[in-house]
Amino acid sequence: MSIKVALAVAPENALMSAFVVFRDKLEHSMLKAAKLGFDGVELALLSKDQVDLPSVKNLIKQTGLEIPMISTGQIFADTGVNFTHPEKEKREKALKDFLGLMEVASELGSLINIGRLRGTLNEGSPSLDYFNEYMGRALERASALGVTIALEPVNRYEINFLNSCEDTAEVIRNLDSPYLKMMPDVFHMNIEDPSIEGSLMKYADLVAYVHFADSNRWAPGRGHLDFLSIINALKLSAFEGYVSLEMLPFPEPDTAAAEGINTIRKYL
Dump the DSSP string for the chain.
---EEEEEEE-TT--TTS--SEES-HHHHHHHHHHHT-SEEEEE-S-GGG--HHHHHHHHHHH--B--EEE-HHHHHHH---TT-SSHHHHHHHHHHHHHHHHHHHHHT-EEEESGGG----TTS-HHHHHHHHHHHHHHHHHHHT--EEE----TTT-SSS-SHHHHHHHHHHHT-TTEEE--BHHHHHHH-S-HHHHHHHTTTTB-EEEE--TTSS-TTSSS--HHHHHHHHHHTT--SEEEE-----S-HHHHHHHHHHHHHHH-
Distances (CA, A) of 158 to 100, 115, 131, 218: 25, 10, 17, 18
Q: What is the 3-state secondary structure (H, E, C) of 133-189?
A: HHHHHHHHHHHHHCCCEEECCCCCCCCCCCCCHHHHHHHHHHHCCCCEEECCEHHHH
Kindly report whether the global pTM for this prediction surpasses the value 0.85.
yes
Average pLDDT, the chain: 96
What pLDDT band is residue 19 in, cutting at 50, 70 and 90?
confident
Which has the minimum average pLDDT: 10-14, 133-137, 197-201?
Answer: 10-14
C-alpha count within 13 angstroms, C-beta hemisphere, residue 106: 15
Q: What is the pLDDT of residue 18?
A: 84
**Is the pLDDT at 1 greater than 70, yes or no?**
no
What pLDDT band is residue 79 in, cutting at 50, 70 and 90?
confident
Specify the number of domains making up the chain: 1
C-alpha count within 13 angstroms, C-beta hemisphere, residue 63: 25
- Residue span of the structural domain in which 52 resides: 4-267
Catalytic residue of the set 152, 192, 197, 259:
152
Q: What is the pLDDT of residue 211?
A: 98
Q: What is the pLDDT of residue 3?
A: 98
User: How does pLDDT run across 100-137, given as a tens digit for each residue?
Assistant: 999 999 999 999 999 999 999 999 999 999 999 999 99
240 is catalytic: no
CATH number at residue 120: 3.20.20.150
Residue 255 makes CB contacts below 8 A (sequence gap 6+) with: none
Q: What is the pLDDT of residue 238?
A: 97
Q: What whole-number percentage of the chain has pLDDT above 90?
A: 95
User: How does pLDDT run across 65-75, given as a tens digit for each residue?
Assistant: 999 999 999 99
Q: Distance between CA 229 and CA 30 in Å, rounded?
A: 29
Q: What whole-number percentage of the chain has pLDDT above 70?
A: 100
252 is catalytic: no
Catalytic residue of the set 42, 107, 192, 246:
246
